[in-house]
């Protein structure tokens, strides 16, 4: 049986394991810098920067969905779905959809105007899943990022 609930402090070591699993799947195994302590500090309490839901199957955390609030100058309150992670052995068994549904219900309950996320173009299974749920893949926008070193270089100019 699948259970979806908010993550607790005790869950964050497993959450980090799943983040690492995703990084390996996305061919970025050395990119993860976040620690369990950072997850705890930023994901719990009244001033939490993100909401993390865990997906439990047979008593084990087999997936997570992590989202956080954003603000659109055009729309108002929005939510960004940062990651939806399901262990390889649980893919196709409904856990990912249950985690996705939890984020969308959370967004709906908080009356946000939009939920947005990024998906790798080569992850065709994920793209197809999201499109089946009514999501639109916006192909005429670039994703722009500035990592910590680039930010420092720019500021110190």
Answer whether 101's CB lies under 8 Å from 116's CB: no
Catalytic residue (choose from 100, 130, 142, 154): 130
Look at residue 69 and give its three-state secondary structure. Answer: strand
Q: Is 130 a catalytic residue?
A: yes
Residue 116's nearest CA partner among 85, 81, 144 is 81
Under 8 Å between Cβ of 86 and 37: no
Instruction: In whole angstroms, give the CA distance from residue 102 to residue 147.
Output: 30
DSSP for 13-68 reads: HHHHHHHHHHHHHTT-TT-----HHHHHHHHSSTT-S-EEEEEEETTEEEEEEEEE
- The residues that are catalytic are 130
């Amino acid at each position: 049986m699948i259970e979806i609930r908010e993550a607790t402090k005790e869950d964050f070591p497993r959450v980090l394991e799943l983040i690492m699993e995703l990084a390996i799947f996305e061919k970025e195994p050395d990119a993860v810098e976040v620690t369990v302590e950072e997850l705890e500090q930023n994901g719990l309490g009244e001033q939490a920067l993100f909401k993390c839901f865990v997906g439990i199957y047979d008593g084990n955390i087999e997936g997570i969905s992590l989202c956080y609030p954003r603000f659109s100058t055009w729309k108002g309150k929005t939510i960004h779905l940062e990651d939806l992670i399901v262990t390889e052995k649980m893919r196709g068994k409904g856990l990912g959809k249950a985690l996705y549904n939890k984020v969308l219900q959370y967004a709906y309950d908080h009356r946000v105007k939009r939920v947005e996320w990024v998906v790798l173009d080569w992850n065709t299974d994920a793209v197809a899943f999201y499109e089946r749920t009514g999501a639109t893949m916006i192909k005429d926008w670039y994703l722009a990022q500035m990592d910590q070193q680039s930010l420092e270089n720019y500021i110190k100019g």
